[in-house]
Amino acid sequence: MMRSMELFSGAGGLSLGLTKAGFHHNLVLEWDKHACETIRENQRRNHPLVSSFPLLEYDATKLDYSSYSSDIELLAGGPPCQPFSLGGKHRGHNDHRNLFPEMFRAVRELQPKVVLIENVKGLLRQSFSTFFEHILLQLTYPEVTPRANETLSEHLARLEKKHTRGRHRGLKYNVVFRLLNAANYGVPQRRERVFIVAIRDDLNIEWAFPDEEDETHSQDALLRSQWVTGEYWDKHKVATKDRPELSDILKRRIKKMSHTDDDGKQPWLTVRDAIGDLPDPEKGRRKAGVHNHFYNPGARSYPGHTGSPIDEASKTLKAGDHGVPGGENMLAKNDGSVRYFTIRESARLQTFPDDYIFTGSWSEIMRQLGNAVPVRLAETLGNSIHEALSKA
C-alpha cells in the first residue's frame, strides 16, 4: 500500500485522482470549511473514493507533524495559487496567502519519497522567475532554511552556492517541473497548470513527466474528426446548419489535413462530449440521479469573457476573485447565446464522477471547482509516480 499525505486539498480533485492511482491517504488537510463540507458530505454518502479519508479541517501553518508517520511515499498539494494567478493581484511571495513555506516544512519533517505540487501557469511568468527558482532550490535542499531577517534574494543566493558547490550530505531531492495541458490527457478543458515533482536523492529513482508521445488526446485529432472525416458531427447528430463558423486560421490549418493523416491520438474532448447527455437546465427538467444540475440566470458575454464554445474543449474554469467566478465559466452556443455552466457540468469538465456531490452556494461551489485539479489528470500523474515507486 502506497501511503500519501495531501495539504491544501480543496474539494478533492487531486486527492480523488491519487486514490484512483492506488495511494492511501494518511492525512487530507484543508482549512476552508466549505471545501471540507463537500468532502464530508461525500463521506456521509459513503463515496468509495473519499470514505476513508482522514480529513482534517485545520490551518497548515499550525500543524504538528510529529504525530504522523514519517514513512510516506508521496506528499502532494496545491498551495494557494492566488498570489500567482493571472486573475489575481500578482503579489507572489509577498502575498500572505503564499503557503509554499508550509510545503517545504512538511518536506523537511516528513521526508517523503516523492513530492507532487500543482500550481497555476502564472507561476512561470517572468516577474516571478526569481521566486520560482527559489521554490525549486528550496525543494532540492529543504533543510537549508531561511535565517532570521534574511531576504528571499539572500536565501536564494545561499541555495545557489550550495547547489553549484555540488556537495551535500543532508536531505536532498531531485526536482523537475512541467507545464501540462489537461486537454491532452482526456480532460474536456484547456487547463494549463504547473506540476513540480521532487524525488528523494537517496532512492536513485528515474522518473520523467509524460512526453508528447504519452499524451492521449490532441487538438489536431479533434479538428480532423470534425472537419475532415465528419465523425464528430455524425456522433452527436449535429446538422450542417447548426455547426459553428470556422476562423480563417483554422481553415488554413484544416486544409493541410487529409483523411490519411493520423497522429495516433484521440480527439480532444469538447464541452458537447462532456455534457451532451445532460438535460437542458434552461428547460427546467431534472434528471433522476443527476445532482447539482440546475440553471443559474444572469450570464452575459462581454469583451474578454465570451464563454466556452460547445464544440471545443472548454476554456479554463476559474475560481474568480472574492469567490465570484469569471465570465468564462459559461457555455457559448453556436447560435451566439450564452449561459452559466451548471455545477454538474463544471464538475464534468473537471472530470469529477457524477456521484460526487458539491455543497454550498453556487458561487462557493464554483470556486471549489475552479481551484480543483482535474481528477483524470491527477490520476495520470499518480499512476506514473506509483509505477516508479513500485519499481524502486
pLDDT tens sequence for the chain (392 residues): 899 999 999 999 999 999 999 999 999 999 999 999 999 999 999 999 999 999 999 999 999 999 887 789 999 999 985 544 444 443 334 445 579 999 999 999 999 999 999 999 989 999 889 999 999 999 999 999 999 999 999 999 999 999 999 888 899 999 999 999 999 999 999 999 999 999 999 999 999 999 888 999 999 999 999 999 999 999 999 999 999 988 888 889 888 887 666 778 999 999 999 999 999 999 876 666 689 999 999 898 888 788 999 999 999 998 865 444 555 799 999 999 999 999 999 999 999 999 999 999 988 999 999 999 999 999 999 999 999 999 98
Query: What are the residues facing 160 on neighbouring strands?
Result: none
Burial of 263-283, coded b for 16+ CB within 10 Å and e otherwise, reads eebebbbbbbbbbeebeebee
- Could you say which of 16, 75, 81, 135 is catalytic? 81
Burial of 350-374, coded b for 16+ CB within 10 Å and e otherwise, reads bbbeeebbbbbeeebbbbbbbbbbb
Burial label, 377 (beta-carbon count in 10 A; 0-12, 13-18, 19+): buried
Gyration radius of the chain over CA positions: 22
For Cα atoms 107, 109, 115, give the angle at the middle one, nearest 5 degrees: 20
Say how far apart CA 103 and CA 6 lie, in whole Å. Answer: 10
Query: What are the residues facing 282 on neighbouring strands?
Result: none
Strand order in the sheet with 2-7: 55-57, 23-30, 2-7, 74-77, 114-120, 192-200, 173-181
Confirm whether pTM is higher than 0.75: yes
Is the distance from CB of 343 to CB of 369 less than 8 angstroms?
Answer: yes
Residue 316 DSSP label: P
Residue recorded with cell 504522523: 68
C-alpha grid cell, residue 293:
444540475
Strands 74-77 and 114-120: parallel
Burial of 106-126, coded b for 16+ CB within 10 Å and e otherwise, reads bbbebbbbbbbbbbbbbbeee
81 given a catalytic annotation: yes
